[in-house]
Amino acid sequence: MATTESDSLDVEAIRADFPILEREFGDQQLVYLDNAATTQKPEQVIDAISDYYRETNANVHRGLHQLSQEASIAYETAHDRVAEFIGASGREEIVFTKNTTESMNLVAYAWGLNELGPGDEVVLTEMEHHASLVTWQQIAKRTGADVNYIRIDEDGRLDMDHAAELINENTEMVSVVHASNVLATINPVGELADLAHDNDAYIFVDGAQSVPNRPVDVEAIDADFFAFSGHKLCGPTGIGVLYGKQQILEEMQPYLYGGDMITKVTYEDSTWNELPWKFEAGTPAIAQGIALAEAVDYIDEIGMEKIQRHENELAQYALEQFEKFDDIEVFGPPAGEHRGGLVSFNVEGVHAHDLSEILNDYAVAIRAGDHCTQPLHDKLGVAATARASFYIYNTKSEIDTLVEALDDARQLFA
């Protein structure tokens, strides 16, 4: 991988690290614009997985032989690397899960079922992903707690006055998406953390769409919990991260029980292992954890500020191109520092699913549907949206290809 000393990415050098980008469909080269769903993987990450299975494959924390020791060190060091990447104090605050969804469920079950009850309130936003919304909704049903939602305005931003009203002495948890996977809104999570803490509540930040493309410091945000998925930042699938403040994690009971998360077991009772292993029952995703650390190294070497700038430039360019068409509706706030690197849109008279299928004929991969935000789409008054999302290897010329394909689709349905 090569980078430059300027503020711009050496995109061509970066693209050379991603073998899948060489794929062609017919005589057309793949234009991959579905990065909010999952990013592609560089050779370095692919090699890290392969190298583990070829050279080190063994269970962790279970053996005294050389392979097990090597695997354990690599897996534990991966926790250290992720902690450093997001500004956590140490590996004790980093729990490896399958994904953001499992991280959310871990806290909801391990903390929520024990701490919530009638009269307690959980505050979400109207733009929450189902991973947050459905999880807290169902936990509230089981505990008798209430769920309230911070409104969004017509530009897709949070109504912070409404947030200040909802977050009160009855609030126990505020769960908020850092960056919307539909609107591209970047939410003021630091302000929300202050509101939560002023009312003795916790805040859980869903960072699935922020950690891959902008600098994140969980201690600066003052998040009590923070979660993200490896596969959205050039890492493998099957690995996610839950950050939790050490004191809170120590007080919480485990969510899953079994091997490795225990210290002593008798026929009558059990005691729990130290953090973070207390929450990582059974054989973990060892290869994925090691490869996640490699992915973090990869994007950190490029530079998170550069990645953020590149994504914003691509989103700005896409928005400018879409403005040329009267029949394209774009959702979310206008371009700027409070908007991330994706654009959700609809073409008048063309269902988002039809649009995605037509673009596929041009080897352009976008997303279409409700993006796991059905209540948000109901609020927007649309059944589905098309979504183009950008990452480090995307170019303005690929957006030009998208626009050309959109123009053909518009004419087809005219």
Residues with catalytic function: 372
Residues whose CB falls within 8 Å of the CB of residue 51, separated by 6 or more in sequence, listed in order: none
In this structure, how many other beta carbons lie within 10 angstroms of the beta carbon of residue 21? Answer: 17
Q: Are 252 and 111 contacting, i.e. CB atoms less than 8 angstroms apart? A: yes
- CA neighbor of 343 nearest in space, from 11, 29, 33: 33
Find, among 343, 366, 362, 363, the residue nearest to 353 by Cα: 366
CB of 177 closer than 8 Å to CB of 158:
no
For residues 49 and 54, give the distance between their C-alpha atoms in angstroms, rounded to a whole number: 9
Please state, as a whole number, how many other Cβ atoms lie within 10 Å of the Cβ of residue 297.
15
Question: Closest Cα to residue 33, out of 383, 359, 409?
Answer: 359
Paired with 29 in beta bridges are 24
CA 384, CA 346: separation in Å to the nearest integer? 8
Task: Report the SS3 class of residue 30.
Answer: coil
Residue 13: helix, strand or coil by DSSP?
helix
Alpha-carbon distance of 339 to 3, in angstroms, equals: 25
Tokens of 55: 């050279």
Amino acid making up residue 298? Y
